[in-house]
Amino acid sequence: MTALPAPRPDRSPRPSLRPVAPRRRKMATIPFVMVVALVMAAGMVALLVLTTALQSQTFVVQSQQREAERLADQLSALQSELADRRSVQNLAVAAQKLGMRPNPYGAQLQLPDGTVIGDASAVTGSEIPSVHYLTPEEAAAQKAALDKAEADRKAKLKAEARAKAKAKAEAAAKAKAEAEARAKAEAEAKKNAAEKAKKEAKKP
């Protein structure tokens, strides 16, 4: 027997024991795909609703713009009509229809104190015989007469132009016919001369 030392006990510290965390369960493939499909479908529906709302708002804006343009045109026409009615010519015609006549000797009223300058006198309507304001009917008749005269003048000018063009064409056709006749006569003369020369050349 040999004398061996007895093994000493291992006195190094042992690691502390901890509980093992449970394994996480993975989500199944089919439910995950269904969730993604639902999210995408909800996004598409939301996008479609938003697009439809924007289009409807665009139509409303365009309609409002057209209405604003129409109202602007109407306002412009009314302003033009108002300015026309406020013109001196229309006021004079309206005053004449009411029996009023121009008064070259009228009195003037000074504002703001209301002082009257001059002596007002009644008029008979013949003080200014050269003044005559046309009524709308007379103005329309005068315009129609002027338009008719202008149309007649243009028609006369067109007729003269057509006559000149026709005469020019006839002169050109006549000159062409004369030139063709002259060329034909010269060709015939040359042909006769050639034949006569051939005949003389054949004589002994």
Looking at the domain assignment, is residue 199 inside a domain? yes
38 part of a folded domain: no
Candidates 92, 186, 187; CA nearest to 133 is 92
For 89-143, the pLDDT digits (tens) are 777 777 777 777 777 777 788 888 878 887 777 776 666 666 665 666 776 777 7
* Residue 195 covered by a domain: yes
- The DSSP secondary-structure symbol of 127 reads S
Distances, alpha carbon 167 to alpha carbons 176, 181, 186, in Å? 14, 21, 28
7 vs 129, higher pLDDT: 129
Which residue range is the domain that position 184 belongs to? 134-204
Q: What mean pLDDT comes out for the span 38-58? A: 89
Q: Give a yes or no: residue 168 inside a domain.
A: yes
**pLDDT at residue 75, as a whole number:** 92
Strands 108-110 and 115-117: antiparallel
- When mean pLDDT is compared over 4-8, 92-96, 150-154, the highest value belongs to 150-154
Domain presence at residue 81: no
For residue 194, tell me if it sits in a domain.
yes
Structural domain includes residue 104: no
Q: What percent of the chain has pLDDT over 90?
A: 7
Return d(Cα 43, Cα 39) in angstroms, integer: 6
Half-sphere exposure of 182 (CA within 13 A, CB side): 6
Question: What is the count of structural domains for the chain?
Answer: 1
φ, ψ (nearest 5 deg) of residue 113? -80, -15
Residue 48 has pLDDT above 70, yes or no: yes
pTM of the model: 0.32
Residue 71's pLDDT is what? 92
In a domain, 150, yes or no: yes
